[in-house]
Amino acid sequence: MLMFLLSHLISAWFAFLLPSYATFKALAHPPDNQQELQRWGMYWSVVGVFLAVEYAAEWLISWLPFYWEAKTLFLLFLALPQTQGSTYIYNNYLQPFFVQNESDFDAGIVQVQKNIVTFIQSRLAFFWEWLANIANKGQGVTSTNTTTNGQAPPNSAVQTVLGLWKSYGNSALSVLGYSTSTQSSAGNSNNGVPSPSASSAGAPSFPEPQHVY
């Protein structure tokens, strides 16, 4: 337990706090510290890849003996100016790998973003259509009770939600790429609720990444 806490404290100080402050210093005086700015840019690129891999695989490797000690030593190797391990890894491994696969990464990132937005749109459309069906059934029951008892029962929670949707739904879905015209046409057929086919209108366009060499 002591080694676990000590490893975290050392990593936090040498691998994150000091590099973060050094990056600030380099950004504050870019003409005078261009070399330092480049160095810390390489450092954060390497650390970002390392943390992404660790987050995905930590459950598999964290049980290994001396895992935290080895991780701390590796982070020190990356961060310390005496070793500058991040510069070495970036120049010899990371940069060539990214350059070789840059086009594939750019296309994959754009496609993943579009797929995520399209999925969210389709799920929201399905959810609101489900609420609309419940509300329609509730309106049928309401009309029956009105005919029987001579008075309408109080509004249901679903009808309240649908009222909020009619007021704010367009603004909410426009953030995810729905156009007002698409929603209005869907609303005419589904009581103001977009149908699942509305999600097929496509995801919002994302800026294409620029190749920088």
78 plus 111 within the same structural domain? no
Residue 8 lies in a domain: yes
Mind spelling out the 3-state secondary structure of the chain? CHHHHHHHHHHHHHHHHHHHHHHHHHHHCCCCCHHHHHHHHHHHHHHHHHHHHHHHHHHHHCCCCCHHHHHHHHHHHHHCCCCCHHHHHHHHHHHHHHHHHHHHHHHHHHHHHHHHHHHHHHHHHHHHHHHHHHHHHHHHHHHHHHHHHCCCCCCCHHHHHHHHHHHHHHHHHHHCCCCHHHHHHHHHHHCCCCCHHHHHHCCCCCCCCCCCC
The whole-angstrom separation of Cα 192 and Cα 210 is 40
Residue 90 lies in a domain: no
Q: What is the pLDDT along the chain (213 residues), one digit of tens a residue?
A: 677 788 889 989 999 999 999 999 888 887 777 888 899 999 999 999 999 998 888 888 878 888 888 999 999 999 998 998 999 999 999 999 999 999 998 999 899 988 998 889 888 888 888 877 877 776 665 555 555 555 544 455 556 666 666 666 666 656 555 444 444 444 444 444 444 444 444 444 545 555 554
51 plus 130 within the same structural domain? no
122 plus 178 within the same structural domain? yes
197 plus 113 within the same structural domain? yes
54 plus 11 within the same structural domain? yes
Q: What is the pTM of this model?
A: 0.58
Residue 126 lies in a domain: yes
Domain C-terminal end among 68, 83, 98: 83
The whole-angstrom separation of Cα 201 and Cα 114 is 12
| Tens of pLDDT, residues 61-105 | 878 888 888 999 999 999 998 998 999 999 999 999 999 999 998
133 plus 171 within the same structural domain? yes
Residue 59 lies in a domain: yes
| Tens of pLDDT, residues 187-204 | 444 444 444 444 444 444
Residue 173 lies in a domain: yes
140 plus 192 within the same structural domain? yes
73 plus 111 within the same structural domain? no
Residue 98 lies in a domain: no
Name the residue range of residue 35's domain: 2-83
The whole-angstrom separation of Cα 79 and Cα 74 is 9
64 plus 123 within the same structural domain? no
18 plus 70 within the same structural domain? yes
Number of structural domains found in the chain: 2
Residue 12 lies in a domain: yes
